[in-house]
Structure 1
Amino acid sequence: MRVMVIVKGTEDSEAGGKPPPELLADMGAFNQTLIDAGVFVDAGGLKETRKGARVAFSGKDRAVTKGPFPNISELAAGYWIWKVKDLDEAIEWAKRCPNPMPGPSVIEIREMFEMGDFS
């Protein structure tokens, strides 16, 4: 199964600065471990929400709101896509991850739909 592993936003991620070099090195090593284990599918970081927009849909109407957005802890700051056997394996990998932020942070794991889920 595939999961999306979402790094939740923090004040640090919304500030838009670059991660410290040690954090980049630790994440690079962790990503290499994921690659070597055949778990890594994709990953990326997201720029701060002041550089983004939301499009809200209501029937045929569209409303655009440009960032920044409130409720920072509900925002996504980055993600991985992992291929794992089950949620428990994804949790074990997430527990091995370096803290993705300089301060306290949260990682959310969500199972992704597969084409077979719709047949």
Structure 2
Amino acid sequence: MRFMTMIRIDENAGPEGGPSPELMEEMGTLLEEMTKAGVLLDTAGLRPTAEGSRVHWSHGKESVTDGPFTETKEVIGGYALLQVRSKEEAVEWSRRFARIHGEDWELTLEVRQVEEPPGEGA
């Protein structure tokens, strides 16, 4: 079973200067553990919304809005794609990722199963 963990952040609420070297080291250790366990398929942080665009489709009409998206408090700041045996296992790996951020961060991790093509997956 594959699960996508979307890491939601408030771009304006993180610690000054971004992640600390200690956090980056702990994150590297956890990601290495996840890779060795065979559960981490892909992961990345995302560039700020100021560098992004949104394509909106509504009733046959398209619009494109360039960032930053000031009307949005939380944005997806990164993701992890996991291959695990259960939703509970995906949630536990996501909890471990959240905990290494300590008290300086406010994160919401949304864990959702990936819809497998017919005939694939468990």
Normalised to the residue count of structure 2, the TM-score between the two structures is 0.83
CA RMSD for the aligned pairs? 2.4
Q: Which runs of 5+ in 1 are unaligned?
A: none
Shift of 1:101: 8.7
Q: Which runs of 5+ in 2 are unaligned?
A: none
* Contact 2:13–2:106, Cα closer than 8 Å, also in 1: no
**Partner Cα distance (2:119, 2:53) in 1:** 30
Alpha-carbon spacing, 1:81–1:87, altered in 2? closer, same or farther (3 Å): same
**Partner Cα distance (2:45, 2:102) in 1:** 10
Instruction: Specify the alignment match of 1:91 in structure 2.
Output: 91
Shift of 1:114: 0.5
Normalised to the residue count of structure 1, the TM-score between the two structures is 0.85
**Partner Cα distance (2:85, 2:40) in 1:** 13
Identity in percent = 32
Q: Count how many residue pairs are aligned between Structure 1 and Structure 2.
A: 116
Q: 4+ residue runs of structure 1 moved beyond 3 angstroms?
A: none
Higher helix share: 1
Instruction: Specify the alignment match of 1:71 in structure 2.
Output: 72
